[in-house]
Structure 1
Amino acid sequence: MSICKFSSDFDDVGSTPVSNIFINHFMLEAPGEYVKVYLLGLKCCYYGQEFSIHSLADKLFMSEIEIEKALKFWEKSGLIKLCYTDGEYTVKYLPIANTGDKKHTMSINDTEVRQMFETIEQMLGRPLSSSEMDTYLSWIDEYDFSLEIIAMLVSYCVTKNKTSLRYMEKIAIAWHDAGVKNALDLEEYLKTESKKWIKYKKILHTLGLNTDEVMEAHKQMMDRWMNDLGFDVDVIIKACNECTLKINEPSFPYINQILINWFNEGIKTINDLEKIKKVPKHKKTSTVFKAPKNYFNGYNQRTYDVDELERKLLAHSRGESGE
């Protein structure tokens, strides 16, 4: 388990002051969850507290992956310095006054850069602030984006009516993680995402959920069903229907258990499911989850008694207390 050790170059440790520079220039355009990580880390830094990544995630109701992304975000912003050795993060908070002006590969005065900013301003229908310009230039260095990709990113966000820097930063990170470097990469990525969302929507529609209600954890779980367990979408929809019929509410953990049960029985398609249903069941037995290789990487592995889980969920749905 990764342990965070916080250290500081600040002299006054009697309180936890937050710099106005952070509030005025960093906090306003940073993701809200990342701000919470920074502030909690700042407090830990001053009082010499140590937290594991898991503890921070639990305390802030975030995933461990999100905590690590937040720390890397602030490192790229020049506010902290990360060292990772022997399973431990050392998180060093830097004086904001020493961050200085950011230096970028490309200058705001470059002709091509000015043309890109003019294009973005036309798309947004307003002038860009110096902070926005600085952020766009930082993506060239941080994500290895071309000017074309940045313009396409803004255009993509405009079509979704989501033009805050916070949202654009999330898209930029997603494109970077997917290896998008040029227009061809982006075209292929968007095609893949479109196909994936068609499948997401089918599953969510079956559960009576809107796309706005789906969280990143839900998408990750649906990806595991389709990629790691290898289920057809039609089989996943069957599991969704079975969940709704049995407990009268959408439950991703319950659907997950149904699919794990089917996976252990060798079911991957609707035909496989129909064949299994035709086989007479002489004796009902509990199924123990045998996770496929690489399934739920980063999670603690446990065994589940499906019969017991179903009994408890049914009791809960009827308002009965469990044993």
Structure 2
Amino acid sequence: MKKMKREIRDRLEIRATCVSNDFLDRFMAEANGDYVKVYLYLLRHGGEGFSVKEAADALNLTDNDIKRAVNYWEKQGIYSDGSSLRVEKEIRTEEDIACSEEVLRRSEESERRSREESLSGTVDHVKDDEEFAGILFVAKHVLPALPSPKQVETLEFMYRELSMKAELIEFLLEYCAGLGKTSARYMETVAINWHEQGIQTMRQAQQLVKEFSERKRGRKTGKAGKPNPFLNFPQSEVDYDSLAKKKLMGRF
């Protein structure tokens, strides 16, 4: 009876990595298993950009495991002198980057907590004022960032000194946020100008903004859609940027 022979076929594509017989005969038996893994990995990726982190992830080892393995093979004469130093330098560089990112994260977190605590301290004396608390709530959601202590002081100035109604202040916040100009100085300038013009309600403010927009469009084009240099509107159109700058310069 004839014995049946089985043919075993390797389905892996032949992309070979040649291992030196000297390594197999003289070095492999005495080496730690992880050191052998590192040697074979580096042999496989010879000529490619070496990354300690990628090697460690691929072999399920630590960065220091890779360093020890390279140092071992350097002592055995397989790797050139200085290889372990290059690996150690890369490890330190990666650690420095990770450390810097952690320091930055902690700094940002500390700054955020500091701003929240500062904001809380600034409004402690008005925390029982439900209406003003509502203004601060709107400010937190309308402004691009958490209101700064200076912005809170400006809002309190509008509320207490200018006696502006809550809905008017909230509209002013939305108006300034829509323009992308939410500095305390700019918002204070707008508030003072509205106060001087007798704006006391949100409806009056909306009408003022509407008229301002219409005059601005009218100055650009005439009825025929062409520039008209003879249009002469009343000078009630306000350049808040210029007003804010003049106010700032007047403080010096």
Q: Is TM more than 0.5 here?
A: no
TM category, shorter: 0.3 to 0.5
Larger Rg: 2
TM-score, length basis structure 2: 0.37
Which protein is richer in helix relative to its size?
2
Question: Which structure's relative contact order is higher, taking Cα pairs within 8 Å and 6+ residues apart?
Answer: 1
